[in-house]
Amino acid sequence: MSKNKRKIKVGGAALFDGILFTSDYRQVITRQYSDRVRCQINTLTKDNRLITKIPILRGILGIGSQIGNAAPDFIKSSGEQDGKNASINTLFLYIVLIIFCISVPILISAFFRQDIRNIVQLIVIFVEFLLYVVTLKSISDFNVLFMYHGAEHKVVNGFENLDIKDMTLENVKNQSRFHKRCGGNLIVYFIILTMLSVFIPVDNLVIKAIIMILLALINIGIAYEIVNLFSKLKKPFDIINYPATIIQFFTTKEPTDKMLKLALYGVLGATREKNGIVLSEYIKKYINENLKDIKCDIQDIYSILEYITGMNRNNLILNKDSYLLTLNNEIKADLLLNRYYFEKYPLQYITHNQYFYNEKYYVDENVLIPRSDSEILVEKAIEYIQKESLKDVIDLCTGSGALGISIAKNSNIDKMTLIDISLQALKIANRNIRLNGVNNKVITLNSDLLQNKIIEIEKQENIEDKRVDMIVSNPPYIKTNVLPSLDEQVKKEPKLALDGGETGLDFYIRIVEQAKRVLKPNGILIFEIGYDQLNDLKEIISKNNEYKLLESVKDYGGNDRVVICRFLEK
């Protein structure tokens, strides 16, 4: 919608932890938490009563309504847990303050001569206003509030001055942090009107105080009309509004980019005719604003949107021109897409989803992402299990559990033990056990390689009954000095699952030695290896004459990937 054709108005109120925006359509409260943004959206019913259209009265009602609507959220944002009765309490507080601020000047003037009392009252009201401004400026806790106030003004100015398509972070940064319709301007005009009220020709100070208190309500309505009138002035006539704007030098500060982004979400959410953004429009908007110079795959974007919405990708694509992305989901999509494209997080960690050997696995930053090349190991393990009727298997350095679970689901083994030193990894593995429905034959064990399994075996009278038929392992095998040169996305994976020591062989050496105490005679040991480690593995195996190398297998790219050997107990 063009800015010139836009009839809807939007107003806001700064909170200590966010911003509240109100339009004819809805109220949107955007709050910033340590690691996320959250929006609360309230649909509003337009008040079409005649009284809301009568000048002065509409201002009184409007200010009362704004205080009533904003008070609970303002109280909560300041750290109070309960905003209950905040509207009534806040309105009462404002009334008390107005009565106090009018009564004090009149009371003080009683100590002066009749002919200068009006001047004394005028001076005291002005001093009260100065004290109000100085107090606001001196309270450090208000700094964040004033920054949010500045963000609110910038985006509202952007909404009024720019086309919607130009409402970007960079463009709203350049908008003024001062706004013609600011509530601070209303306070200034209210003070001016109150100061003029002191010249009411009434000598009795009690009666004068009552009249001025009653006039305060009317002055609020008049101040509201003045703000609205002056806000419509075009340059150069808007200079008339400048004196009232001075207060905004104290009540607004330059916001951070994060605050501006928060304000952008709020103002767009409040002013869209529909309660959301059409999916195809969102994708186009995100690409145009963020990925002009970045190569992107639209399917990656749909993967993230599929995760956020919970909708099937095909349905999303089919309904992209009609499906509305809610404001909270839009914010979440921005966050996750930024994490993917700019923080270089792997897509699998963002969507917590990876398919491996036709099975679905949950993954996060605590585990290595299963790769398709590792499916070679699964295939060879299943081949030997079927050929030799093996029943008891260990997946060592299991991580997500993908290797062991895939083997268990696609073979006739009786038991699979997933072993890892990381308790966080085992939580993921247990989740994947449940996800894939193999609770009946897959268990987990926390251990530094095979140490706890060896202890378990050696506690038994009949050791042979506790030994296993096969061990499979994809241990850490990257050389320590190579880690800094890895792809940025790979660096996001746990170092514990990558670092194989100075030569990259530390774990292979330890596993080959420990496996002798865990494998049954003629048991099978299967490793995944780095593309250049075959000769090193052959040498390690040859030094342990209890093992016989059966075969090595290349991956889909033609690189050495899997080594299989048999344990021949001497």
CATH number at residue 547: 3.40.50.150
Q: Establish if 244 belongs to a structural domain.
A: yes
Quick one: pLDDT at residue 240? 84
Dihedral, CA atoms, 50, 53, 56, 60, nearest 10 degrees?
A: 80
- Helices in 451-530 by DSSP H: which ranges? 451-458, 488-491, 506-515
State residue 549 phi and psi, 5-degree precision.
-70, 125
Quick one: pLDDT at residue 60? 78
Quick one: pLDDT at residue 237? 75
Q: Are residues 108 and 175 in the same domain?
A: yes
Q: Are residues 200 and 300 in the same domain?
A: no
Total-model pTM = 0.81
- Helices in 272-390 by DSSP H: which ranges? 279-290, 298-309, 313-318, 327-341, 347-351, 375-388
Q: Are residues 440 and 339 in the same domain?
A: no
Closest CA to 264 of 181, 330, 337: 330
- Please tell me the distance from the alpha carbon of residue 528 to that of residue 393, in angstroms, as a whole number: 16
- Please tell me the distance from the alpha carbon of residue 354 to that of residue 406, in angstroms, as a whole number: 13
SS3 per-residue string spanning 366-386: CCCCCCHHHHHHHHHHHHHHH
Please say which residue of 309, 343, 377 terminates a domain.
343
Quick one: pLDDT at residue 273? 85
Q: Are residues 397 and 533 in the same domain?
A: yes
Q: Establish if 33 belongs to a structural domain.
A: no
Q: Are residues 330 and 381 in the same domain?
A: no
Q: Are residues 417 and 548 in the same domain?
A: yes
Please name the amino acid found at residue 439.
Answer: N
- Please tell me the distance from the alpha carbon of residue 98 to that of residue 125, in angstroms, as a whole number: 11
State residue 550 phi and psi, 5-degree precision.
-95, -45
Q: Are residues 290 and 241 in the same domain?
A: no
Please say which residue of 257, 284, 303 terminates a domain.
257
Q: Are residues 288 and 231 in the same domain?
A: no
Q: In 190-322, which ranges are E strands? A: 277-278
Quick one: pLDDT at residue 2? 46
Q: Establish if 6 belongs to a structural domain.
A: no
Range of the domain at 331: 276-343
Quick one: pLDDT at residue 87? 57
C-beta separation of 175 from 151 below 8 A: no
Q: Establish if 5 belongs to a structural domain.
A: no
Q: What is the pLDDT along the chain (570 residues), one digit of tens a residue?
A: 445 445 688 888 888 889 999 888 888 999 888 777 888 888 777 666 677 678 888 877 777 666 666 655 555 555 555 555 555 666 677 788 888 999 999 999 999 999 999 999 999 999 999 998 888 888 888 899 999 999 999 999 999 999 888 888 999 999 999 998 898 899 899 999 999 999 999 999 999 999 999 999 899 999 988 988 888 888 777 788 888 888 999 999 999 999 999 999 999 999 988 888 999 999 999 998 889 888 889 999 999 999 999 999 999 999 999 999 999 999 999 999 999 999 999 999 999 999 999 999 999 999 999 999 999 999 999 999 999 999 999 999 999 999 999 999 999 999 999 999 999 999 999 999 999 999 999 999 999 999 999 998 888 777 667 899 999 999 999 999 999 999 999 999 999 999 999 999 999 999 999 999 999 999 999 999 999 999 999 999 989 889 999 999 999 889 999 999 999 975
Sign of CA dihedral 334, 340, 345, 349: positive
Please say which residue of 257, 286, 305 terminates a domain.
257
Quick one: pLDDT at residue 5? 45
Q: Are residues 537 and 401 in the same domain?
A: yes
Q: Are residues 561 and 425 in the same domain?
A: yes
**Half-sphere exposure of residue 231, counting CA atoms within 13 Å on the CB side?**
18
Q: Are residues 142 and 189 in the same domain?
A: yes
| DSSP-based three-state secondary structure for 213 | helix
Number of domains in the chain: 3
Q: Establish if 232 belongs to a structural domain.
A: yes
Please name the amino acid found at residue 484.
Answer: P
Q: Establish if 266 belongs to a structural domain.
A: no
Q: Establish if 439 belongs to a structural domain.
A: yes
C-beta separation of 183 from 212 below 8 A: no
Q: Determine the angle formed by the axes of helices 327-341 and 279-290, rounding to 10 degrees.
A: 40
Q: Establish if 186 belongs to a structural domain.
A: yes
Q: Are residues 319 and 192 in the same domain?
A: no
Quick one: pLDDT at residue 89? 65
